[in-house]
């Protein structure tokens, strides 16, 4: 079972940079991970860690002046004859016909702010019908039925009436549901959700997370969940990728990353979060300093100036690579792998 | 606990915003943002107000510091351990000498600092307008305050754009402390910050409270943060307090169904704790047009006919634990602390 | 190591940079706006030294020199640099009864700098008769016609210099007036809100809905004939400003409304700042740069308004000279066909309008250096 479990999407050594007037920002600097059908991959990190740019790179919609400078993004397709084949998304042009048909149809995106991702001048129903007919061969009537079906699937009450509603007539939670319905209209196999619940309240967040989970159970799609909230990751993800300043610092199964985290960043981040179960009113362990601005990323391991376990002369000189430290558990830290032979 | 002095007492506080329409902007209705809330805060404690967006917690906090004029109600505040004064209806001039005792920390570290002023001008302004005319004296005090919040005193002449979100929040805290207030109203002070910076600011707030004997009114939506920092908590829903209790009590044995759902909805950063969440149906009620009876009844899984008809009052069910629910005494609701305490993986 | 230091120093420079500094850094990046600023400055230098740049009294009429075409300046005389013009003699063509002008290549009149000419007051108070250019051995009025003359034989170049002064100051005065009105009424509207706000907003809507030209015509018709040039000039600025303030007032009101909600304003309130201090220390500095940009962008509209009014004969009237007054002469097809140089005063109108717009765009972009 383990052996033939092929990933549907593989990202290999992805590097995306922004070439601005002030300098080059290496937003994503060598990210590698796999996404499997029926599973949720969580990408977690703080601001500037490159988690959103990773999503944009996969969809080929990195805004100017950014572009993918290196790496591969492989999408696995399974045609009728049972013979799987892979397409390298990075080799397709961003606005090529093929990329456009993949975007939305095979990989769909749900953004943080539903109000800006939905068109304000079209009804919810028309937006879903339009998207469905663009990628699937449906008549208008069929697409309309599909829209009602999808809206009730995502839990919008009175779906027949809701298809005629404009986005501003819905509350934040309902808009996010409508956006998910829109993303699902083409039966994507991969759903990328970029901070889907950040703008929502906890009880609404619980509703949306519950919805995503049950949708995944029903249609077996892969979900890539991008968030800064460790709680949401612990709740939802099967696999976790922890990023810091463009680099993947740790990845592995969720129980391992949370239970036996190895990277000093993951460890200190988890410790610094107040939990309902922690002792109240005591000083929390913190990570010293602040996240550096992406323009002045520190040399070597980007976390070394804030790292409690920094090895002077090593961490500030060399960039660590991702190394296996256990079953599917990768860490990029010199505490766990030898220092490269130096030429100096 | 019993003999503690009450620093702030809020009685029947209401704030309605008119909904204006038409050519002459006539009021056609009201958003009942805060709809009659009562609570009191003891000197030296941290009192939390939690609730979801639109529940009126921010409006309430702004009424208390009188950044907004309350529609009705009383706000009694004790100045210098003296008598309680009702500040709800004081005029601008009458309020002026009392302002220095109540200060505020804001949510957004970007909009809360005037980008056109240096740190010295920002932190020194409260001093200047409250009679510290001597520039040298002000410089000394600002340097002292910067050191207090963990910033380097030589940053004096820098502008806010030189600082990150967490550092800006420290500047905001320094400004709030400039006049040695007794009450600090903190409106979501960490929710706009990165996770790793949140802990730093929470630590700073705890440390300052200990050193300066501050009282905090802490407004937040993040229950983990509230649990960590507050002594007592009030839970708000659609402009009303539905439950108030000691933090431990509230988290262990909530008495209001909304509190129960809220507690259960918080995702915990521990995958071993994935549990069956209570998923609330429907949407938060519209404060311009709230439902009859108990505002929570359309979403409440324990609702009975009485809840639809009659509005419950906030009543004490145990010492220090008040709930506004008709069925508070008969329901056995689940808290979060009775879940098995996980072994901390990293210690 | 040394390099690290310079980077840190550079950052410190940004950290302690005030608003004006940041705005300047940002404005400087906007090349077109910087170039446009030079153009605008050049125009205002002309305003300051209009009489100095003119060489003939702009009001001297002479029927013998009517509608003379522009006269070329020759820079070299038999290989030597010696700028000169040919003397021109005019006579009437007996068939067409038009005056024709013939240059006499034998009579070379050297063009010189800083030559004495008609008397004027430099900057309004220094009496002098020096002019930038002139000819040697003859009066400029009789021999120098760089841009030709108009029907009445007045020198177009000299008139244009003086017209620039009128047109550009009228724009500034009108903007200043509407700025005062706009900031005052917009500020009251935004700060107090409520019924006062409603009343002012309705007034603005009414003013904006009245068609401009009839409004101007009505008001211009009300000016008594016997008013002096100065009085008319002033009345015109008021007429233009009366409508111009509405846009600025809306801008100011919007800023006030959004600033009232800013946390730093609330913080100042809680610190115990007086209303006056909040308005003048916190609110106005936050939008003054936007207002400056908006005002800059409205200058060309004012200039165009004056030009249009005067062109239609509703604004300034001779003997006042403005671009509009000059263009009035080019109203008929015959004039344009036979003496196209009369249209030359349209060129500065276009150039200055574009320059103000580009400069205003740059200012607007730089006005908020804190946004991303």
pLDDT tens digit string along C136-174?
A: 777 777 777 888 888 777 888 888 888 888 888 888 888
Residues B252 and B317 occupy one common structural domain: yes
Region A279-294: mean pLDDT is 84
Percent of chain A scoring above 90 in pLDDT: 26
Of B122, B155, B180, the residue at which a domain comes to its end is: B180
Cβ contact B114–C269 (<8 Å): no
pLDDT averaged over every residue in chain B: 88
- Give me the DSSP letters along B300-312: -TT--HHHHHSPP
Residues B293 and B332 occupy one common structural domain: yes
Residues B114 and B94 occupy one common structural domain: no
Residues B38 and B118 occupy one common structural domain: no
CATH number for the domain harbouring residue C240: 1.10.3720.10
- Complex ipTM more than 0.90, yes or no: no
Instruction: Answer yes or no: is C1 within a domain.
Output: no
Q: Where are the domains of chain A?
A: 107-187
Helices (H), chain A: 51-59, 97-102, 114-117, 124-135, 140-153, 159-162, 172-184, 202-219, 230-236, 254-259, 264-272
- Beta partners for residue C76, in sequence order: C81
Lookup result for tokens 């609702």: B303
CA C368 to CA C210: how far, in whole Å? 33
**DSSP secondary structure letter of residue B213:** T
- The residue segments making up the domain with residue B327 are 1-101+183-338
Q: How many structural domains is chain B composed of?
A: 2
Note the pLDDT of residue A82: 60
Mutant choice from B170, B267, B285 vs A, greatest count of A C-beta within 10 A: B267
Q: pLDDT tens for residues C209-247? A: 888 778 777 777 787 878 877 788 788 788 778 878 888
How many CB pairs below 8 Å do chains B and C form together?
74
Cβ contact B125–C271 (<8 Å): yes
Residues B25 and B97 occupy one common structural domain: yes
Note the pLDDT of residue B347: 36
Tokens of A145: 């039925």
Residues B22 and B156 occupy one common structural domain: no
pLDDT along chain B (347 residues), means of 10: 78 90 74 92 94 89 92 92 88 89 92 90 93 89 93 87 89 94 94 88 94 94 91 94 94 92 87 78 81 91 91 91 92 70 42
In chain B, residues with a C-beta closer than 8 Å to the C-beta of C16 are 118, 157-159, 162
Q: Which residue of B130, B158, B172 is in closest CB contact with C272? A: B130
**Chain B touched by A95 (CB under 8 Å):** no
Residues B222 and B319 occupy one common structural domain: yes
Q: pLDDT tens for residues B304-329? A: 999 999 999 999 999 999 999 999 88
Backbone angles phi, psi at C85, to 5 degrees: -125, 160
Instruction: Answer yes or no: is B2 within a domain.
Output: yes
Cβ contact C269–B67 (<8 Å): yes
- The residue segments making up the domain with residue C229 are 159-367
Q: pLDDT tens for residues B155-174? A: 888 888 888 889 999 999 99
Cβ contact B103–C270 (<8 Å): yes
Q: Which residue of A206, A254, A287 is in closest CB contact with B196? A: A287
In chain B, residues with a C-beta closer than 8 Å to the C-beta of A274 are 198-199, 202, 224-225, 227-229
Instruction: Answer yes or no: is B194 within a domain.
Output: yes
In chain B, residues with a C-beta closer than 8 Å to the C-beta of A235 are 267-268, 271, 274
Mutant choice from B196, B218, B288 vs A, greatest count of A C-beta within 10 A: B196
Q: Does the pLDDT value for residue C268 go beyond 80?
A: yes
Residues C353 and C217 occupy one common structural domain: yes
Residues B133 and B234 occupy one common structural domain: no
CA C158 to CA C52: how far, in whole Å? 9
Residues B161 and B275 occupy one common structural domain: no
Query: For the sheet containing B46-50, what is the strand order?
Result: B102-105, B183-187, B215-220, B46-50, B232-237, B240-246, B321-323, B315-318
A344 by Cβ neighbours in 10 Å (0-12 / 13-18 / 19+) ranks as: exposed
Three-state secondary-structure class, residue A72:
strand
Residues C141 and C184 occupy one common structural domain: no
Instruction: Answer yes or no: is B346 within a domain.
Output: no
Q: Does the pLDDT value for residue A3 go beyond 80?
A: no
Residues B197 and B73 occupy one common structural domain: yes
Residue C256 confidence class, pLDDT cut points 50, 70, 90: confident
Of C134, C154, C174, the residue at which a domain comes to its end is: C154
Cβ contact C266–B100 (<8 Å): no
CA distance, residue C18 to nearest chain B CA (Å)? 7
In chain B, residues with a C-beta closer than 8 Å to the C-beta of A284 are 199, 202-203, 228
Residues B176 and B191 occupy one common structural domain: no
Residue B78 is inside which H or E element, if any? Answer: strand B72-78
Of B180, B209, B242, the residue at which a domain comes to its end is: B180
Q: How many whole angstroms from its chain centre is CA C259? A: 32
CA distance, residue C38 to nearest chain B CA (Å)? 28
Q: Which of C129, C163, C166 is nearest to C52 (CA)?
A: C129
Mutant choice from B55, B236, B283, B300 vs A, greatest count of A C-beta within 10 A: B283
Q: pLDDT tens for residues A134-163? A: 888 888 888 888 899 888 888 787 888 888
Closest-CA residue of B relative to C13 is B158
Cβ contact C263–B158 (<8 Å): no
Of B130, B149, B180, the residue at which a domain comes to its end is: B180
**Chain B touched by A196 (CB under 8 Å):** no
**DSSP secondary structure letter of residue A84:** -
CA distance, residue C14 to nearest chain B CA (Å)? 8
Q: Which residue of C14, C263, C272 is in closest CB contact with B99? A: C272
Tell me which chains share at least 3 CB pairs under 8 Å with chain B.
Answer: A, C
CA B119 to CA B146: how far, in whole Å? 9
CA distance, residue C295 to nearest chain B CA (Å)? 21
Mutant choice from C270, C275, C281, C371 vs B, greatest count of B C-beta within 10 A: C270
Closest-CA residue of B relative to A210 is B279
Q: Which residue of A205, A269, A280 is in closest CB contact with B227? A: A280
Residues B39 and B159 occupy one common structural domain: no
Backbone angles phi, psi at C90, to 5 degrees: -110, 145
Q: How many structural domains is chain C composed of?
A: 2
Q: Which residue of C267, C274, C277 is in closest CB contact with B112? A: C267
CATH number for the domain harbouring residue B250: 3.40.50.300
Q: Which residue of B92, B100, B162 is in closest CB contact with C15? A: B162
Instruction: Answer yes or no: is C32 within a domain.
Output: no
**DSSP secondary structure letter of residue B80:** T
CA C116 to CA C132: how far, in whole Å? 9
Cβ contact B199–A202 (<8 Å): no
């Amino acid at each position: 079972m383990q052996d033939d479990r092929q990933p549907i999407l593989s990202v290999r050594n992805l590097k995306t940079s922004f070439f601005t007037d002030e300098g080059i920002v290496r937003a994503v600097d060598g990210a590698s991970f796999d996404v499997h059908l029926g599973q949720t991959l969580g990408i977690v990190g703080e601001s500037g860690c490159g988690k959103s740019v990773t999503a944009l790179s996969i969809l080929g919609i990195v805004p100017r002046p950014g572009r993918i400078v290196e790496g591969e993004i492989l999408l696995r397709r399974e045609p009728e004859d049972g013979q799987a084949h892979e397409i390298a998304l990075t080799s397709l042009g961003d606005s090529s016909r093929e990329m456009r048909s993949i975007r939305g149809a095979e990989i769909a995106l749900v953004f943080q702010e539903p109000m800006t991702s939905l068109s304000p001048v079209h009804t919810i129903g028309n937006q879903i019908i339009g998207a469905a007919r663009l990628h699937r061969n449906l008549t208008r009537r069929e697409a309309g039925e599909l829209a009602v079906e999808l809206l009730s699937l995502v839990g919008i009450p009175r779906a027949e009436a809701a298809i005629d509603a404009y986005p501003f007539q819905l509350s934040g939670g309902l808009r996010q549901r409508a956006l998910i319905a829109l993303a699902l209209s083409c039966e994507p196999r991969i759903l990328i959700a970029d901070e889907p619940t950040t703008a929502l309240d906890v009880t609404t967040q619980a509703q949306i997370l519950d919805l995503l989970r049950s949708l995944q159970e029903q249609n077996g799609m892969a979900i890539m969940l991008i968030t800064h909230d460790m709680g949401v990751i612990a709740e939802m993800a099967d696999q976790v990728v922890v990023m810091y300043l463009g680099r993947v610092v740790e990845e592995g199964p969720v129980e391992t990353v949370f239970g036996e985290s190895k990277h000093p960043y993951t460890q200190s981040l988890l410790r610094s979060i107040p939990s309902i179960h922690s002792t109240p009113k005591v000083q929390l362990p913190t990570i010293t300093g602040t996240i550096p601005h992406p323009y002045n990323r520190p040399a070597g391991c980007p976390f070394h100036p804030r790292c409690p376990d920094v090895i002077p002369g090593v961490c500030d000189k060399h960039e660590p690579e991702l190394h296996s430290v256990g079953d599917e558990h990768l860490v990029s830290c010199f505490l766990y792998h030898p220092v490269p032979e130096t030429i100096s | 606990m019993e003999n503690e002095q009450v620093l702030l007492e809020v009685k029947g506080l209401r704030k309605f915003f008119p909904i204006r329409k038409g050519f002459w902007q006539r009021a056609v209705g009201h958003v009942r943002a805060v709809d009659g809330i009562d609570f009191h805060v003891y000197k030296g404690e941290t009192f939390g107000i939690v609730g979801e967006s639109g529940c009126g917690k921010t409006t309430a906090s702004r009424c208390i510091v009188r950044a907004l004029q309350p529609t009705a109600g009383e706000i009694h505040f004790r100045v210098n351990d003296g008598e309680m004064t009702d500040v709800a209806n004081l005029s601008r001039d009458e309020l002026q000498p009392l302002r220095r005792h109540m200060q505020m920390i804001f949510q957004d570290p970007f909009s809360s600092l005037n980008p056109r002023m240096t740190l010295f001008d920002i932190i020194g302004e409260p001093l200047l307008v409250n009679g510290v005319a001597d520039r040298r004296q002000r410089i000394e005090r600002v340097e002292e305050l910067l050191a207090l919040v963990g910033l380097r005193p030589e940053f004096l002449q820098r502008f806010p754009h030189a600082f990150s979100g967490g550092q800006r929040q420290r500047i905001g805290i320094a400004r709030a402390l400039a006049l040695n207030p007794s009450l600090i109203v903190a409106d979501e002070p960490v929710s706009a910050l990165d996770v790793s910076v949140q802990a730093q600011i929470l630590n700073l707030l705890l440390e300052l409270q200990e050193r300066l004997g501050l009282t905090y009114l802490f407004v937040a939506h993040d229950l983990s943060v509230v649990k960590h920092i507050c002594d007592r908590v009030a839970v708000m829903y659609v402009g009303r307090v539905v439950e108030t209790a000691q933090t431990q009590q509230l988290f262990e044995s909530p008495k209001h169904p909304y509190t129960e759902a809220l507690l259960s909805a918080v995702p915990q950063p521990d995958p071993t704790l994935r549990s069956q969440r209570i998923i609330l149906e429907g949407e938060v009620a519209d404060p311009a047009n709230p439902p009859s009876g108990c505002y929570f009844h359309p979403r409440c899984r324990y609702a009975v006919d009485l809840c639809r008809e009659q509005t419950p009052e906030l009543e004490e069910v145990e010492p220090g634990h008040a709930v506004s629910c008709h069925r508070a005494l008969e329901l056995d609701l689940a808290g979060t602390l009775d879940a098995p305490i996980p072994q901390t993986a990293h210690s | 190591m040394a390099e690290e230091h310079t980077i840190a120093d550079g950052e410190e420079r940004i950290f302690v940079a005030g608003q004006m500094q940041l705005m300047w850094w940002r404005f400087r990046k906007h090349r077109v706006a910087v170039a446009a600023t030079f153009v605008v400055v050049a125009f205002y230098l002309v305003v300051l030294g209009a009489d100095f740049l003119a060489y003939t009294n702009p009001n001297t009429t002479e029927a013998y020199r009517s509608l003379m075409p522009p006269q070329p300046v020759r820079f070299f005389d038999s290989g030597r640099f010696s700028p000169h013009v040919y003397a021109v003699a005019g006579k009437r063509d007996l068939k067409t009864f038009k005056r024709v002008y013939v240059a006499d290549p034998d009579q070379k009149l050297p063009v010189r700098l800083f030559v004495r000419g008609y008397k004027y007051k430099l900057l309004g108070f220094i009496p002098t008769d020096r002019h930038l250019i002139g000819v040697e051995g003859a009066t400029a009025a009789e021999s120098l016609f760089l841009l030709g003359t108009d029907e009445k034989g007045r020198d177009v170049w000299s008139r244009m210099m003086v017209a620039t002064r009128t047109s550009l100051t009228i724009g500034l005065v009108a903007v200043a007036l509407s700025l005062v009105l706009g900031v005052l009424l917009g500020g009251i509207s935004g700060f107090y809100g409520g019924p006062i706000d409603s009343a002012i907003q309705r007034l603005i809507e009414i003013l904006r809905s009245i068609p401009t030209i009839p409004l101007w015509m009505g008001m211009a018709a009300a000016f008594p004939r016997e008013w002096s040039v100065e009085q008319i000039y002033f009345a015109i600025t008021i007429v233009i400003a009366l409508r111009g303030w509405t846009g600025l007032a809306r801008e100011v009101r919007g800023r006030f409304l959004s600033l009232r909600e800013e946390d730093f304003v609330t913080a100042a309130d809680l610190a115990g700042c007086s209303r006056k201090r909040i308005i003048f220390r916190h609110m106005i500095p936050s939008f003054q740069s936007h207002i400056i940009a908006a005002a800059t962008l409205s200058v060309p509209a004012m200039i165009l308004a004056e030009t249009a009014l005067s062109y239609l004969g509703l604004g300034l009237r001779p003997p006042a000279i403005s671009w509009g007054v000059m263009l009035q002469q080019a109203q008929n097809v015959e004039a344009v066909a036979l003496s196209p140089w009369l249209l030359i005063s349209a060129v500065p109108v276009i150039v200055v309008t574009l320059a103000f717009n580009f400069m205003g765009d740059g200012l607007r972009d730089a006005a908020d250096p804190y946004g991303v």
